[in-house]
């Protein structure tokens, strides 16, 4: 039986949900969870990192670029909710081509919002990031804390937020989620996120390399990330309209995370794991307060960092992540390097114009795959 999103729809109707970035690390697991509940899902994604969903019943994949507003407007027709996850994710990937990344992460954003509203979408949920806070000595960073972006990735993430909120209206609910660093296993796996990186190194090299170590980071299990989106979808309009929510589990130093990984892996495999410390090359450090999500949404994380580590180890144990130290499918920046190489080797940048249909990043990926 399908679960109605009662507070979004006027009657106890069934929700049709459009997810941009549907084939990403979080998007893949979110799609599968919503389909499992019986919802109809439109997945809008270029699938740069592959397809780990397939075409199960109730799922309509649209292989397209978020900068193609006309295509998005067509895809979102009949949808009740949009979850906007699509972006060039993480600082190194963004900085490979700042101009192109800006068009994907920022310049196309408001046109998507306008198209969704015009199509009759009732709720638009934007996946921002807790990294908008940049560097903060405060042990209690709440949603009204000033943004201190130190990279273009988190600057443009933050700049999208007011563009969404200005379209808030009685018939168009806008909500912002600022997730912590997500960890744990996904079918579309990433091994370039802090807990996941350290787990991979511990299991497959026996040495965890930590850069710096004192930086504080909030963390969140991927299963709780999926739950958080579902809670926001189902929350009463009056509770979430025009609001932002920090979503996280534990604020820990990178060194503390490394020590947790070391302990879990040593206990599980009965072999010693060492930690090697290198000079810090990442200045981001902040600790988010998630009380608002608990108070307003009733959202409390259910899974731990230890759960995430063990989930990844379970997959390693059955050979489910082959070539985990080298395969570019697990590393956004490595895959994006291939994409960028293909882009600039085979066509001048001017050909990659959203208004002209974007030479098709699909064609670009074919070039990548052929090498």
Report the DSSP beta bridge partners of residue 195.
Answer: none
Choose between 182 and 281: higher pLDDT.
182
Per-residue pLDDT tens for 243-255? 999 999 989 999 9
Q: How remote is the C-alpha of 84 from its chain's centroid?
A: 9
pLDDT of 345 reads 61
pLDDT computed for residue 216 by the predictor: 87
- Cα distances (angstroms) measured from residue 318 to each of 191, 269, 321: 17, 14, 8
Has residue 220 got a pLDDT over 60?
A: yes
Q: At a CB cut-off of 8 Å and minimum separation 6, what does 23 contact? A: 43, 45, 47, 49, 50, 51, 52, 53, 61, 188
**What is the C-alpha separation between 40 and 57, in angstroms, rounded?**
8
For the chain, count helices (H), then strands (E). 14, 12
Residue 353 is predicted with a pLDDT of 36
Q: Quick one: angle between helices 305-317 and 194-205, nearest 10? A: 40
Which sign does the torsion angle of CA 331, 333, 336, 340 carry? Answer: negative
Structural domain boundaries in the chain? 16-369
Going by pLDDT thresholds of 50, 70 and 90, the confidence category of residue 175 is very high
pLDDT value for 162: 97
State the average pLDDT for the chain. 87
What per-residue confidence (pLDDT) applies to 338? 79
Task: Spell out where the chain has E strands.
Answer: 16-20, 40-44, 59-62, 81-84, 123-127, 173-179, 181-183, 207-211, 216-221, 243-247, 250-253, 274-278
Q: How many residues does the chain have?
A: 371
Residue 16's contacts (CB-CB under 8 Å, 6 or more residues apart) are 39, 40, 41, 42, 78, 79, 80, 81
pLDDT bin (cut points 50, 70, 90) of residue 337 is confident
Q: What sign does the CA torsion over 201, 302, 300, 175 have?
A: positive
- pLDDT for 84-93, tens place per residue? 999 988 666 6
Contact criterion met (CB below 8 Å) for 308 and 222: yes
Going by C-alpha positions, the residue among 201, 81, 70, 216 that lies closest to residue 137 is 216
Stronger pLDDT, 232 or 370, i.e. the higher one: 232
Q: What is the mean pLDDT of residues 104-108?
A: 94
Distance set, CA 18 to CA 45, 60, 71 (Å) = 11, 9, 13
Q: What percent of the chain is modeled with pLDDT above 70?
A: 85
The string of pLDDT tens digits covering residues 198-215 is 999 999 999 999 988 888
Q: What pLDDT score was predicted for residue 14?
A: 67
Beta partners for residue 174, in sequence order: 124
| Closest to 371 (Cα-Cα) out of 343, 330, 332, 333 | 343
Tell me the percentage of the chain whose pLDDT exceeds 90: 71
**Residue-level pLDDT at 358:** 32
DSSP assignment of 136-175, as one string? Answer: ---S-B-TTSPP---SHHHHHHHHHHHHHHTT-BTTBEEE
Whole-angstrom Cα distance, residue 254 to residue 205? Answer: 18
Q: Does residue 354 carry a pLDDT above 50? A: no
Quote the pLDDT of residue 280: 75
Give me the DSSP letters along 11-52. Answer: SS---EEEEETTTSHHHHHHHHHHHHHT-EEEEE---TT--S
With beta carbons less than 8 A apart as the criterion, state whether 79 and 61 touch: no
Which one is predicted more confidently, 135 or 125?
125
Residue 307, number of CB atoms within 10 A of its CB: 18
* Chain mean position to CA 281: 23
Written out in words, the top-level CATH class of the domain with range 16-369 is alpha beta
pLDDT the model gives residue 139: 83
């Amino acid at each position: 039986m399908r679960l109605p999103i009662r507070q979004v729809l006027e009657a106890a109707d069934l929700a049709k949900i459009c997810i941009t970035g549907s084939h990403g690390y979080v998007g893949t697991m979110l799609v599968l969870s919503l389909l499992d509940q019986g919802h109809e899902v439109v997945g809008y994604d270029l699938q740069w990192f592959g397809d780990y969903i397939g075409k199960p019943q109730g799922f309509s994949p649209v292989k397209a670029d978020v900068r193609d507003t006309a295509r998005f407007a067509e895809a979102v027709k009949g949808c009740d909710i949009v979850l906007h996850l699509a972006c060039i994710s993480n600082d190194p990937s963004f900085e490979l081509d700042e101009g192109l990344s800006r068009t994907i992460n920022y310049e196309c954003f408001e046109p998507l919002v306008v198209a969704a509203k015009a199509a009759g979408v009732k709720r638009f949920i934007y996946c921002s990031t807790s990294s908008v806070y940049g560097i903060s000595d405060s042990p209690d960073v709440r949603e009204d804390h000033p943004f201190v972006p130190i990279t273009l990735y988190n600057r443009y993430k933050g700049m999208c937020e007011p563009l969404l909120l200005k379209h808030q209206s009685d018939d168009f609910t806008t909500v912002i989620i600022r997730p912590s660093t997500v960890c744990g296993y996904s079918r579309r796996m990433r091994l370039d996120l802090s807990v996941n990186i350290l787990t991979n190194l511990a299991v497959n090299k026996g040495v965890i390399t930590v850069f710096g170590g004192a930086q504080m980071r909030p963390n969140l299990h991927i299963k709780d990330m999926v739950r958080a989106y579902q809670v926001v979808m189902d929350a009463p309009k009056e509770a979430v309209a025009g609001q932002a929510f920090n979503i996280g589990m534990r604020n820990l130093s990178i060194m503390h995370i490394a020590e947790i990984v070391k302990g879990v892996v040593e206990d599980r495999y009965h072999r010693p794991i060492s930690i090697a410390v290198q000079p810090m090359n990442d200045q981001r450090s902040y600790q988010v307060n998630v009380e608002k999500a608990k108070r307003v949404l009733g959202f409390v994380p259910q899974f731990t960092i230890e759960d995430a580590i063990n989930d990844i180890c379970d997959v390693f144990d059955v050979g489910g992540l082959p070539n985990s130290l080298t395969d570019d499918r697990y590393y956004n920046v490595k895959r994006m390097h291939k994409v960028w190489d293909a882009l600039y080797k085979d066509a001048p940048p001017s050909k990659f114009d959203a208004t002209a249909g974007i030479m098709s990043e699909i064609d670009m990926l074919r070039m990548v795959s052929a090498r």
